[in-house]
A and B are shown apart, each in its own frame.
Chain A
């Protein structure tokens, strides 16, 4: 991943791969997805549907959501076949 503070001024303009190219997009959230572990069947459909690719799947485990970049769209919650993801108001964590 490229260090975004380092700029390469070559003879023609090009950029290098970087996560967080738009900054810490987790700050966009109005709602935060929470996986209810007991309901999760580890089907990984949330990992599949996440538009951001910010859910990490691990074999045989409940997926983990990378909140640094999660934009809080809620597609994962809508798609979860077991309704194991709830969208909680982000303000709950504001003062932490």
Chain B
């Protein structure tokens, strides 16, 4: 196995992931900061490096609708979007989720309007947590490429058959170049076999998705629920399989820091990248702080999180989203720990909304400030001012 090192932006890395996954139908609509992702895919197709149909749709709603149609016809489908586009296709998000069509979508996170804002925030992706999609948050370009490939394997697993959203921060990840190891096509082929599931049969015709009475509908929802439950262990299996072939280890969460932390930062995406740098500084200065990076948001890794926080005094949740008066990540973490044997204190911080910079310096300061009063009761949501 020989992997080439390329200098790729997050968007380019995603495009490579799509190419290596041999996606067959692409349907996407341009929106900043996703645009260069789909342009790179169009280039691959034009050069003959990817054999796929690229449907030029007129809106994001149609983009996902076309992917769903393609998936029904037995093709591997891909789309990508951000903020407004993601919101516009929300009807279709539920359709893919409840309809159990294994589509993979890259969400290049972006702040939702109004007012207009192209920089990153996680609310757009997190606001879709009810749609039945598996959601994975990446924090560097290598992870983006690897996760796209893993996403197809997870979603097409017969025990799952659920769509997967691969999320990464707009500009901070999508437009920032890093060294990325690009796997060989043949290695990816043996990891990810072709998709084979055509629901169209003229000899034994099916009518998909007609009306269902309540008692039957309840049963179908339960079937969905069982698949959603199973998806957690399938994600773990795929992570392990990927590690055994490509040597890169991923988990539902990632624990970072070189000590037995008293306090854990909890973050996702590029906020977690800044948090890692902050933890490095803090550890060097002797502070017992670690980071729990949430990579798998849906299904939420409740038990892993519960195990990870055992013994910790406090969690500092760095939430780059807002649901009315509280961060969405905070709500999920609090909910996951409610029935845990060990429940650390939770300090909730809103950071980086609207794309505001979350520098590791500001995090270091905030954590030191907090550690001075970590024995106090949390006083509700704190907004971390952005510097620069």
Contact = CB atoms under 8 A, between A and B. Distances in A.
Count chain B CB atoms within 10 A of each CB in A12, A14, A17 and give the residue with the most: A12
B208 A11 contact: no
A9 B205 contact: no
Nearest to B210: A15
Contact of A11 (B205, B210, B223): B223
A16 B227 contact: no
A7 interface: yes
B206 A15 contact: yes
Contacts of A17: 205, 207
A14 B101 CA distance: 13
B209 A12 contact: yes
Contacts of B210: 13-15
Main secondary structure of the interface of B (DSSP, over half): loop
B208 A13 contact: yes
Contacts of B161: 11-12
B373 interface: no
B100 interface: yes
A17 B210 CA distance: 12
Interface string A1-44: 00000010101111111000000000000000000000000000
A83 to B, nearest CB: 39
Given A12-B99, A12-B100, A7 B216 contact: yes
Nearest to A12: B100
A13 B209 contact: yes
A9 B100 CA distance: 13
A14 B209 contact: yes
Nearest to B159: A11
B100 A14 contact: no
A11 B98 CA distance: 10
B99 A14 contact: no
Contacts of A15: 206-207, 210
B220 interface: yes
A28 to B, nearest CB: 19
B220 A14 contact: no
Given A12-B101, A13-B212, A14-B207, 8 more contacts: A11-B100, A12-B99, A12-B199, A13-B208, A13-B210, A14-B210, A15-B207, A16-B204
10 contacts: A11-B223, A11-B227, A12-B101, A12-B161, A14-B206, A14-B208, A15-B207, A16-B205, A16-B206, A16-B207
